[in-house]
Structure 1
Amino acid sequence: MTTWDTDYLPPSLCELVDVIGLQATQSLVSEYGGVRLTVPTKMPEDHPLADLLGIDAARKLSHHYAQERLDVPNAKAAIMAVRNQNMRQEHADGDSARVLARRYRLTERRVWEILSEGMPDDRQADMFSEGEAR
């Protein structure tokens, strides 16, 4: 499972990470992202959430969110941030935009957009530089 960039997680997922841990939260989002769950008051060992998260994490979830209707976010921004970071690294390691487009099921145009995000634009003048006045 890919590690998330936690800077992009919504507050509700940050809270879940604090309660049940990152790996269990990722499993929960992977299975139930975008879905509303009702968390049981007592977590039996044979509950689907116990199977998914492990009994310890499932019981922590139950203790913290008992009888709440929990909207599980899909963490799209965090997942995409990691994907884009991986794509930039793979490109720096020599993979072409064409290879990346096929690997990530994107257009080459979108790959180039992702690769150029966050790159400094040399055409922009630095208004704070100590160079020549214009």
Structure 2
Amino acid sequence: MQADMPVNDNNENQELLNLIGDDAFTRLCTVFGGTRLHVSNSDRSRKRLNIIVGEENAEKMIFHFDGVALTLPMLSSLEIKKRRQAIIEDAKKGMSHRDIAMKYDLTDRQVRRIINES
């Protein structure tokens, strides 16, 4: 695939879903839905993907999509509710607000608001 080539085809999203699985794909869409995710072999990209989809899935994504801009679908309101619940569960498990914010690409303030509203 060519570098910076936008990938918004349903077949590409299906390929990504098959590659990393439903949970990791949902986490990616939670964070990047409706936007482009540039996948690269840089330290910053690798760290961000590791947080969101885990190290093994990050490596798969980099291997298969290095240099590609993936356009991920937006989540429905149901998926947003699932994300909020996952944030609350992560907080109950003792994960710091900072780590939760990084995992879901939110600010600490947004995480605190979600947890306080629960």
Greater relative contact order structure (CA < 8 Å, 6+ sep)? 2
Look at both structures and tell me which one has the larger radius of gyration over its CA atoms: 1
Higher helix share: 2
TM-score (norm 1): 0.44
- Structure 2-normalised TM-score? 0.50
Compare the two structures and name the one with the higher strand fraction: 2
